[in-house]
Copies of this chain bind each other. A is one copy, B any other.
Amino acid sequence: MASSKLMMKMSSSTSRNSDLIRRKSSNSSSSSSSTNHHHHHKHPSIRINNNSGVFDMTVDGLLPTVHNNNEQQAPESTLLDAEITLLDAAVRTSSNGGQKTVDDVWKEIVAGRSCKQEVPDEMMTLEDFLAKAGAVEEEDVKIPPPPLPSERLSGGIFSFDNPIHPPNVDGVVGFGIGVDEMGGRGKRRAILEPLDKAAQQRQRRMIKNRESAARSRERKQAYQAELESLAVKLEEENETLLKAKAEQTRKRYKQLLDLPSRSEACYHEEQQLTSGIHLLVNAQTIVRLSNYILRVSIRVL
């Protein structure tokens, strides 16, 4: 019963089956090349977190000029792409000129994940990169990067990250872009500095957790794959064993059928022997008789 499932999973996916088995097969079939598992929608420059479409919508109409240099993607997921673009621009101007660096680093990290502390320092890991970017941002907002149709709207829009007023002490800041929102420019550093620190910490934690989640997912996926492979292997091994057992049983049965033949041969031999013996025994009686006759004859003589 179970073998059928695994077999189905291994087989092609022609039948319509929402049993979450064919999904696997289709997946394995769709991923034509090997070892490239999960870079589906990574063509955009970085495309990190763009969930929670709330932003997307809010920023959508307000920052149309920010993300139009990427390939035209869905009108959603703009704020974070804007952020990334911003960060990317900020870093591109500072460290290296390649645009795909982040993606490459990330891919590299994902690829050679087991041993840590790769990419010595120049190519920092994605989280460091982002964290540093977030940290740098605090200063960068003054000197706005190339694209920023900054009106009062930009402040109002980007102000998602900082606790608007000192609302709660906990670092419940959503996003660490670092752009403040206060209308008054006077008491910025006085109040926002600790909050920004907390925000940065939170941001760092989030980024770390993001990467960790990616690792965990990968591990889990590997485990799952291994498990399936193991199941398949065990299954066929089981089948082989079962077949061997059947073969052995058959052989044994045959031998059991053959052993009587052997013992039958033995029996026949014995039979022949005993029959011969019977003959000889008869002959013996004859001998006795002739002895008797002989004795009688001699006595007569």
Residue A143 lies at the interface, judged by CB distance under 8 Å to chain B: no
Is B231 touching A241 in the complex (CB atoms < 8 A)? no
Contacts of A162 in B (CB 8 A): 57
A58: interface (CB < 8 Å) = yes
> Residue A290 at the B interface, CB < 8 A?
yes
The count of identical subunits is 2
> C-beta contact mask, A44-76 vs B, less than 8 Å → 1, else 0?
000001011111111011101000000000111
Which of A116-124, A126-134, A276-284 lies at the binding interface? A276-284
- Interface flag for A160 (CB, 8 Å): yes
> Which residue of B61, B172, B233 contacts A56 across the interface (Cβ within 8 Å)?
B172
Residues of chain B contacted by A270 (CB below 8 angstroms): 266, 269-270, 273
Asked whether A57 lies within 8 Å of B230 as measured between CB atoms, the reply is no
Classify the interface of chain A: helix, strand, loop or mixed: helix
A-B contact pairs, 11 of them (CB 8 A): A6-B230, A51-B51, A54-B55, A57-B163, A61-B163, A76-B172, A224-B224, A231-B231, A234-B235, A238-B238, A287-B287
Chain A residues within CB distance 8 Å of chain B: 2, 5-6, 20-21, 49, 51-58, 60-62, 64, 74-76, 159-168, 170, 172-175, 202, 206, 216, 219-220, 223-224, 227-228, 230-231, 233-235, 237-238, 241-242, 244-245, 248-249, 252, 259, 262-263, 266, 269-270, 273-274, 276-277, 280-281, 283-284, 286-287, 290-291, 293-294, 297-298, 300-301
Least CB distance from A296 to B in Å reads 10
The minimal Cβ–Cβ distance linking A228 to chain B, given in whole angstroms, is: 6
Do residues A168 and B223 form an inter-chain contact, with CB atoms below 8 A?
Answer: no
A166 proximity list for chain B (CB < 8 A): 61
Whether B168 pairs with A61 at a CB distance below 8 angstroms is yes
